[in-house]
A and B are shown apart, each in its own frame.
Chain A
Amino acid sequence: GEDVEQSLFLSVREGDSSVINCTYTDSSSTYLYWYKQEPGAGLQLLTYIFSNMDMKQDQRLTVLLNKKDKHLSLRIADTQTGDSAIYFCALIMEYGNKLVFGAGTILRVKS
């Protein structure tokens, strides 16, 4: 089945950019998502990208998709302490409706 991998932990200083990476195995993924989970809260959709796109920008968030390398990244510009959370990469396969998640990356922002 599909496998989605993320690095476990990222620590950055307030004001710096954060880059969270994700790799996946199946090239038939159609939509690729980034979810954020704050302590005690559910999974909040941050942004998503369709598989025929290379890049999507939404305010401080930039998503890059490299289909050849099966690599997805989320860049957060001017990272704030409020961005500290767990970030999940997830994708939907062609003809499917279920999200396949990575294990999540813990982002810690130091002030």
Chain B
Amino acid sequence: EPEVTQTPSHQVTQMGQEVILRCVPISNHLYFYWYRQILGQKVEFLVSFYNNEISEKSEIFDDQFSVERPDGSNFTLKIRSTKLEDSAMYFCASSFGTVGTEAFFGQGTRLTVV
């Protein structure tokens, strides 16, 4: 069964460092997303990406964040200068269509900023 894969599963980084979280969406999907879940809090939408550009982003997704689809398979989230409050589980998701189609989620990358 096709699945969304994320690497690494756990990343520890020092405050101020740049991190790149990687995702391989399902191959025929067209829409890509990043969500995050701070420990004990809700899963929050960060950004959606379609046709090689951001289609929607939340207030959380400020200038420190960027997304890229560098080739036909990977979808990355970059945090330029990490802060302690960026520590969270980051989920990548992809879907074939928009509303009403299933978004498949990866298993998440746990980012710990120290």
A interface, CB within 8 angstroms of B: 4, 30-31, 35, 40-45, 48, 50, 88, 90, 92, 96-104
Contacts and interface: CB of A to CB of B under 8 A. Distances in A.
Contacts of A98: 33, 45, 48, 56, 58
B56 A103 contact: no
B44 to A, nearest CB: 7
Interface string B85-114: 000000101000011101111111000000
Interface residues of B, number: 25
Contacts of B44: 101
A88 B99 contact: no
Interface stretch (B35-43, B67-75, B76-84): B35-43
A61 B33 CA distance: 27
Given A97-B98, A101-B42, A103-B42, A42 B103 contact: no
A50 B100 contact: yes
Contacts of A99: 35, 43, 45, 103
Contacts of B108: 42
A69 to B, nearest CB: 21
Nearest to A6: B42
A84 B6 CA distance: 24
B91 A97 contact: no
A42 B56 contact: no
Given A40-B107, A100-B45, 18 more contacts: A4-B42, A41-B107, A42-B105, A43-B91, A43-B93, A43-B105, A44-B105, A48-B100, A96-B56, A97-B55, A97-B56, A98-B45, A98-B56, A99-B45, A101-B42, A101-B44, A103-B41, A104-B43
